[in-house]
Amino acid sequence: MLSAILIMAAMGLVLGAILGWASIRFRVDDDPLVEKIDAILPQTQCGQCGYPGCKPYAEAIASGESDINKCPPGGDDGIKRLAELLGVEVKPLGEGLEPKPKSVAIIDENTCIGCTLCIQACPVDAIVGAAKQMHVIVEAQCTGCELCLPPCPVDCIDMVVVKEDISTWKWRYPIHRMRQVA
């Protein structure tokens, strides 16, 4: 009887030690779910979801703190993919949030006074310039987050919708009426 208890206790200790070691040795630093959610988010870093960037929003979704329908740039497609990943129902975009067409910010060079405030606001460092020098936005790197608009003291930044050209043109979804068969 005693030997059985001792054997079980010893086994428990050994296995516990192994598990304890494994939990330290194979610790997952970051929540892999956060990474997966972050990969779906459009990385505009616009903060329309109420979080200061896409990663914090991904963390909030992963912890169940926030809903999946708070990202307007991701659109319905993004919500669908998040819903698929998390195994939840697809929802319409949250109230007061509206998807906008993809735009980029353009600085009016005649009005810019070179205050550098927009440079500090840009989350992806897409604005080039220095104090009292004209600023310019690198269009290819602009995510269209609009964060540079409020700090501009002379209101010289405009959002311009990106036009479709030959290299970005897409075939439309074929819409055709099915013949009604009685």
- Binding region for other proteins (CB under 8 A) out of 14-22, 91-99, 153-161, 170-178: 170-178
Residue type, 69: N
Q: Which stretch binds other proteins (CB under 8 A): 24-32, 89-97, 103-111, 123-131?
A: 123-131
Q: Which residues contact 154 (CB under 8 A, 6 or more apart)?
A: 111, 112, 113, 115
For other proteins, the closer of residues 66 and 143 by Cβ is: 143
Rounded to the nearest 5 percent, the helix, strand and coil shares of the chain are 35, 10, 60
User: Contact letters (x/-) for other proteins, 1-20, by CB under 8 A?
Assistant: --------------------
Q: Which residues of 126-153 are buried (b: 16+ CB within 10 A; e: fewer)?
A: bbebeeeeebebeeeebbbbbbbeeebe
* Residue 151 binds to other proteins (criterion: CB under 8 A): no
Does 133 engage in binding with other proteins (CB under 8 A)?
no
Q: Using alpha carbons only, what angle is made at residue 79 by residues 78 and 85, rounded to the nearest 5 degrees?
A: 90
Q: How far is the CB of 82 from other proteins (least distance, A)?
A: 14
Q: How many positions of this chain bind other proteins (CB under 8 A)?
A: 30
**Contact flag: residue 42 with other proteins (CB under 8 A):** yes
Cα separations in angstroms, 30 against 33, 36, 110: 8, 11, 47
Q: Is residue 24 a contact point for other proteins (CB under 8 A)?
A: no
Quick check: 166 binds other proteins (CB under 8 A)? yes
In whole angstroms, what is the distance from residue 57 CA to residue 93 CA?
A: 15
101 binds other proteins (CB under 8 A): no
| 71 touches other proteins by CB under 8 A | no
The residues binding other proteins (CB under 8 A) are 38, 41-45, 53-54, 122-126, 141, 143, 164-166, 168-174, 176-179, 181
